[in-house]
């Protein structure tokens, strides 16, 4: 114990303070990497996309189909197929995911929940290439072609159903989290007024968890739009596709178009602008999913703030 | 252990008489009461017109308290009057809160703790802190005590220092055989004494305690109080408490805070600061009297 | 008591009984709960059918080939083709991913949670990370194609693959999973109670000492869980690899190649063989070998997931 204290004694060890500053800088630069990656993505996409859009004949962006190696870049073909497949996926995933989430959050006993939840997470962990294979070898012959005998082996329907299986656990887990975040008091209040469980779930829990549920659906939609392998493997049309909204025909989404072009012969080849067109489609895809994710994040923040 | 305390009492010849505030019943085998503080004790910490802000919120207004060496100074007052804020500004724990800002000056041995060259880490090594809820590290008992000295590059024998600190915190006999066990296996009262041992292991000369006994049962509380009395031989202690009996029992001087509700802001301020015996028996301010007799708060 | 009072009491009792007794069946409630059960069972049965179907298709391969399916490399002959080359590729990619993304991701998470001031810029970084996590994996493939493949080539590490090797793949995948590492690690760091930090600062520790000695050790099980799941994600991804030129056909088996050749030469990975075999013209590849490769892939992922769950359960001791 020093009887008198000088200001120097409280200045601290300069070596320690230097080290502290260095560590802080190091960590901060790691934090900046995410910004750098975003910039890189933008640079990578925008450069080639610009090269594409400035050289392509605008008329070839609206023709009858997507055949980049032959110079036909009908963007609507890709948009229609993407919308169709994501739509089919959502038709599957919304009821299955929300039903599963409601059951897990409100009905399942803690014991049942303990093994049901990991099982759903297991399904979420199945890689998309596996679901692509399954969509092609099971969903298509055993389901689509049985229901519609005229359907070919590669259909947007089979791909859409596969995408539905992919995003169901996503809807289920995110919505379940939102429902479980609803305070127990709200439920007790409902029961206290004489409501039964079904009424409580439908009239109290779901409305209270709505922003989280909406977030899960938008997130799932974004994932469906961004999914590549299932569509690439099960929807066919690897060489190119005609513009069609018939789910029982082959089709090509934005993602599959990129994959098909890049995988063609281990080499992005073809008529002049094919390579650049990849990046143009990639940029479109990036922007669409960015908007969806931002909206979804906003909804998530909303329910986080509420409770 | 019990011996220890008695010797300590004898050594300092603390008068065991009850003052008027003693009408407040104290349970337990021993009654500790505030000492008769000696005005010749050196002032080592001077809070001079200290204001605390959180963002735009003016939490504490112009607090001036001299804190004397080897005394126990108690801060009391209704909830939200800024006791913790003042306490945390003394060892610059407020720096950790983004929005917090301290104005005025706090001088420690005459040195302004908020001076531009002062390193808060250095301040906290000299002014230790014990928190409201026991917060041991999720590590062994030994590591809890040795962490502070280790980072301060303590050169002596660590085992001895750990033992010494645990002894001073009146915990040694209870844990000497399980130093390697997790601190989480101890009872709440033991954990709090461990936190005290941890705080004194860095040999600070001031120890700040923010309601150190509020989460403990009466018996554990009494042990902490006895311990504070012991620690006073070596350390200067500033304690925040909600419990007036506790302030009356252990402290030498008491600062009574209150809170003004004006203009929508609840700003705390110091009402009265004097020797504990005076404050409890003969308060200068009617507000103080209302509070200690339970007519307020 | 008069008979009239008695009658009135009886009547009241009957009314109350009617009011609180089970009054028939609430059909809406039954339908609703029933529907939920059906939906849940559908979801579960999809998983069941998926696994059963693939197992059945894969069974002959394992029956005939046994472990040699795992120890044999690529081949044009379905009778001798195995997944060894692919496992080597996946392990190399996963290693690079771990080396690059774990330290950067964890450091970024610690910065966000412990150092970053609570201001607009920090919020912007946080939002950026969240948005990156949602970018489709194929876009990362384009990033790799435009930047990382040329980068590897420029560094003279292109080798016989001209930059289309595990280095480019590893960097691309590391960037792809980086936001996930950051998000899960940040969650784990956030879960460490503030009182532990306070205790550290209270005894005069610097911020780095508090982080190193208390925050990170306490958050470690959570961080590890996240990183393991991240590895699983990196091992299962296919699309970006296709874009950055993973070999989807046969290439010389790696048996006689040096490690350097393997790192800079052409490569394949577990999910990629699933894809490429499923489009081979020889029926055996698609019918039995691809499902068998899927089983190997799923086994690897289940092991990783099991490890993650084990780690997560270890977290639930403290505070
Ligand atoms: N981190 C913070 N951010 C914003 N305001 C705060 C913060 N900490 C405390 N305050 C406010 O400052 C005022 C004083 O708080 P403080 O905790 O110092 O009071 P206290 O006297 O210790 O109360 P208690 O007896 O309840 O512990 C209160 O109005 C409180 O709401
Ligand atoms: Mg307080």
pLDDT digits (tens, 9 = 90+) for C239-259: 999 999 888 777 765 556 677
Chain B residues with beta carbon closer than 8 angstroms to that of C209 = 151
What is the pLDDT, as a whole number, of residue B35?
A: 56
Mutate to test the interface with A, among C134, C172, C246 (most CBs of A within 10 A): C134
pLDDT higher than threshold 80 for residue B5: no
For B24, which DSSP code?
S
Best residue in B106, B112, B119, B121 for a mutation probing chain A (most A CBs within 10 Å)? B119
End-to-end CA distance of chain C: 65
How far does the CA of residue C202 sit from the closest CA of chain B (Å)?
A: 5
Confidence of residue C213 (pLDDT cuts 50, 70, 90): very high
Q: Give the distance (Å) from ligand 1 centre to CA of residue B218.
A: 26
- Decide if B118 and A7 are in contact by the 8 Å CB cutoff: yes
Chain C residues 181-220 with CB within 8 Å of chain B: 193, 195-206, 209, 213-214, 218
* Residue C19 belongs to a domain: no
Task: State the SS3 of B196-259.
Answer: HHHHHHCCCCEEEEECCCCCCCHHHHHHHHHHHHHHCCCCEEEEECCCHHHHHHHCCEEEEEEE
The verdict on C116 touching B (C-beta cutoff 8 Å) is no
| Chain segment A205-226, per-residue pLDDT in tens | 988 899 899 999 999 999 999 9
CA distance C73 to C84: 5
Nearest CA to ligand 1 atom 25: B79
Average pLDDT across chain C, whole number: 89
Find residues 103-132 of chain A whose CB sits inside 8 Å of chain C: 103-104, 107, 116, 118-123, 125-132
Full residue range of the structural domain in which residue C156 is found: 56-318
C104 within some domain: yes
Domain count, chain C: 1
From atom 12 of ligand 1, which residue's Cα is the shortest distance away? B59
Segment C213-231 mean pLDDT: 91
Could you read off the pLDDT of C6-20 as tens digits, one per residue?
A: 888 888 888 877 777
pLDDT at position B72 over 90:
yes
Separate counts of helices (H) and strands (E) for chain A: 13, 3
Ranges of residues in chain A whose predicted pLDDT is under 50 = 1-2, 265-267
Would the pLDDT of C106 be above 90? Answer: yes
Task: Determine, yes or no, domain membership for C161.
Answer: yes
CB distance from C172 to chain B under 8 Å? Answer: no
Per-residue pLDDT of B100-124, as tens digits, reads 999 999 999 988 999 888 899 999 9
Chain A contact set for B122 (CB, 8 A)? 9-12
Q: Assign B51 to helix, strand or coil.
A: strand
What atom of ligand 1 comes closest to residue B78's alpha carbon? 25
Q: Can you tell me the mean pLDDT for C73-92?
A: 88
In a domain, C208, yes or no: yes
The answer to whether position C8 is within a domain reads no
What is the Cα–Cα distance from A57 to A292, expressed in whole angstroms?
Answer: 30
Interface with A, mutate which of B42, B70, B109 (most A CBs under 10 A):
B109
Query: What's the CA-to-centroid distance between C270 and ligand 2, angstroms?
Result: 58
C-beta atoms surrounding C212 within 10 Å: 16
Report residue B217's pLDDT band, with 50, 70 and 90 as the boundaries.
Answer: confident
HSE-CB of C55 using CA atoms within 13 angstroms: 8
Nearest residue to C128 (alpha-carbon basis) of C169, C183, C87, C73: C183
CB contact under 8 A, B147 and C200: yes
Give pLDDT, residue B22: 36
3-state SS, residue B293: coil
pLDDT value of residue A266: 40
| Alpha-helical runs (H) found in chain C | 3-20, 27-65, 68-71, 84-110, 120-133, 137-143, 149-154, 166-190, 194-202, 207-210, 216-236, 239-243, 259-264, 270-278, 283-284, 290-315
* pLDDT value for B26: 38
| C222 domain-assigned | yes
Nearest to residue B94, comparing CAs of B138, B43, B59, B134? Answer: B59
State residue A191's pLDDT score.
Answer: 84
Whether residue C177 lies within 8 A of chain A, CB to CB, comes out as: no
CATH number where C94 lies: 1.10.3720.10
Say yes or no to pLDDT of B81 above 60. yes
A244 close to A147: Cβ distance less than 8 angstroms:
no
Contacts of A19 in chain B (CB under 8 A): none
The partner residue sitting opposite B109, judged by closest CB among A4, A16, A17, is A4
Closest atom of ligand 1 relative to the B97 alpha carbon? 1
The larger pLDDT score, comparing residue B130 to residue B214, is at B130
Would residue C34 count as lying in a domain? no
Name residues contacting ligand 1 (CB within 6 A).
Answer: B 54, 57, 59, 79-85, 97, 99, 242, 266, 268
Would you say the pTM of this structure is higher than 0.90?
A: no
Q: Which residue of A has its CA nearest to C124?
A: A35
The yes-or-no verdict on residue B39 having pLDDT over 70 is: yes
CA of B85 to the centre of ligand 1 (A): 6
At residue A264, the pLDDT reads 59
Residue C107: inside a domain: yes
Kindly list the residues from chain A whose CB atom is less than 8 angstroms away from the CB atom of residue B205.
1
Name the closest ligand to CA C198. 1
């Amino acid at each position: 114990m020093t009887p008198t204290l000088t200001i120097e004694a409280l200045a601290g060890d300069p070596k320690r303070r230097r080290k502290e500053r260095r560590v802080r800088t190091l960590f901060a630069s790691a934090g900046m990497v995410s910004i750098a990656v975003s910039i890189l993505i933008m640079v990578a996409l925008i450069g080639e996309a610009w090269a594409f859009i400035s050289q392509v004949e605008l008329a070839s962006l609206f023709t009858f189909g997507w055949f980049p190696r032959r110079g036909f870049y009908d963007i609507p073909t890709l948009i229609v197929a993407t919308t169709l497949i994501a739509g089919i996926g959502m038709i599957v995933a919304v009821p299955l995911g929300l039903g599963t989430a409601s059951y897990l959050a409100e009905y399942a006993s803690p014991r049942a929940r303990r093994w049901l939840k990991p099982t759903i997470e297991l399904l979420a962990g199945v890689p998309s290439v596996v679901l692509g294979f399954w969509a092609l070898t099971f969903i298509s012959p055993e389901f689509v072609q049985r229901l519609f005998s005229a359907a070919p082996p590669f259909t947007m329907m089979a791909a859409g159903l596969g995408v539905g299986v992919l995003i169901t656990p996503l809807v289920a887990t995110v919505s379940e989290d939102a429902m479980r975040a609803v305070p127990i008091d709200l439920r007790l209040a409902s029961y206290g007024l004489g409501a039964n469980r079904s009424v409580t779930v439908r009239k109290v829990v779901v409305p209270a968890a709505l922003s989280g549920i909406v977030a899960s659906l938008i997130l799932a939609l974004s994932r469906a739009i961004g999914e590549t392998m299932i569509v690439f493997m099960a929807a066919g049309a690897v060489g190119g596709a005609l513009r069609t909204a018939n789910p029982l025909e082959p089709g090509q989404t934005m993602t599959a178009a990129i994959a098909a072009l890049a995988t063609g012969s281990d080499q992005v080849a073809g008529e002049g602008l094919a390579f650049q067109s990849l990046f143009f489609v990639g940029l479109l895809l990036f922007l669409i999913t960015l908007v969806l994710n931002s909206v979804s994040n906003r909804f998530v923040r909303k329910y986080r703030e509420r409770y | 252990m019990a011996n220890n305390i008695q010797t300590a009492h004898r050594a300092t010849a603390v008068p065991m008489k009850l003052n008027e505030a003693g009408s407040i019943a104290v349970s337990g085998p021993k009654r500790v009461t505030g000492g008769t503080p000696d005005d010749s004790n050196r002032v080592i910490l001077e809070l001079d017109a200290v204001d605390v802000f959180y963002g735009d919120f003016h939490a504490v207004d112009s607090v001036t308290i001299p804190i004397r060496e080897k005394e126990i100074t108690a801060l009391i007052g209704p909830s939200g009057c800024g006791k913790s804020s003042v306490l945390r500004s003394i060892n610059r724990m407020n720096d950790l809160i983004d929005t917090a800002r301290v104005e005025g000056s706090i001088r420690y041995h005459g040195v302004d703790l908020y001076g531009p060259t002062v390193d808060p880490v250095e301040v906290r090594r000299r002014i230790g802190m014990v928190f409201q809820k026991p917060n041991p590290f999720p590590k062994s008992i030994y590591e809890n005590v040795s962490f502070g000295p280790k980072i301060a590059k303590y050169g002596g024998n660590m085992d001895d220092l750990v033992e010494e600190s645990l002894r001073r915190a009146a915990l040694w006999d209870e844990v000497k055989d399980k130093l390697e066990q997790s601190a989480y296996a101890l009872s709440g009262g033991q954990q709090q004494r461990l936190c005290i041992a941890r705080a004194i292991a860095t040999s600070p000369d001031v120890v700040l305690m923010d309601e150190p006994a509020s989460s403990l049962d009466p018996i554990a509380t009494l042990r902490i109080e006895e311990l504070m009395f012991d620690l006073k031989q070596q350390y200067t202690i500033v304690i925040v408490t909600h419990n007036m009996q506790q302030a009356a029992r252990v402290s030498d001087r008491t600062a009574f805070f209150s809170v003004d509700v004006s203009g929508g802001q609840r700003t705390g301020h110091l009402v009265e600061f004097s020797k504990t015996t005076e404050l409890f028996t003969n308060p200068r301010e009617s507000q103080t009297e209302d509070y200690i007799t339970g007519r307020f708060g | 008591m008069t008979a009239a009072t008695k009658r009135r009491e009886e009547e009241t009792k009957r009314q109350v009984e009617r009011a609180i007794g089970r009054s028939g069946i609430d059909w809406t409630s039954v339908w609703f709960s029933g529907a939920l059960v059906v939906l849940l069972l559908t979801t579960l049965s999809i998983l069941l059918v998926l696994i059963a179907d693939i197992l059945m298709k894969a069974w002959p391969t394992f029956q005939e080939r046994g472990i040699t399916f795992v120890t044999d490399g690529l081949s044009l002959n379905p009778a001798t083709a195995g997944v060894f080359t692919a496992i080597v590729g996946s392990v190399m990619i996963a290693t690079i991913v771990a080396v690059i993304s774990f330290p950067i991701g964890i450091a970024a998470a610690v910065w966000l949670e412990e150092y970053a001031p609570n201001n607009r810029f920090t919020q912007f970084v946080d939002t950026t990370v969240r948005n990156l996590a949602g970018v489709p994996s194929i876009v990362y493939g384009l990033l790799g194609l435009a930047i990382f493949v040329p980068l590897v080539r420029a560094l003279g590490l292109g080798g016989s693959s001209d930059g289309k090797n595990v280095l480019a793949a590893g960097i691309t995948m590391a960037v792809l999973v980086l936001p996930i590492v950051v998000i899960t690690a940040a969650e784990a760091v956030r879960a460490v109670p503030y009182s532990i930090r306070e205790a550290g600062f209270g005894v005069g520790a610097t911020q780095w000492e508090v982080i190193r000695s208390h925050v990170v050790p306490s958050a470690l099980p959570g961080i590890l869980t996240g990183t393991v799941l991240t590895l699983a994600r990196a091992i299962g991804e296919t699309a970006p690899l296709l874009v950055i030129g993973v070999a989807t056909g046969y290439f010389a088996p790696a048996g006689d190649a040096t490690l350097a050749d393997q790192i800079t030469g052409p490569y394949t990975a577990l999910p990629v063989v699933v894809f490429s075999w499923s489009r081979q013209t020889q029926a055996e590849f698609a019918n039995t070998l691809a499902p068998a490769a899927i089983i190997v892939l799923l086994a690897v992922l289940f092991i990783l997931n099991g490890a993650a769950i084990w780690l997560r359960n270890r977290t639930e001791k403290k505070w």
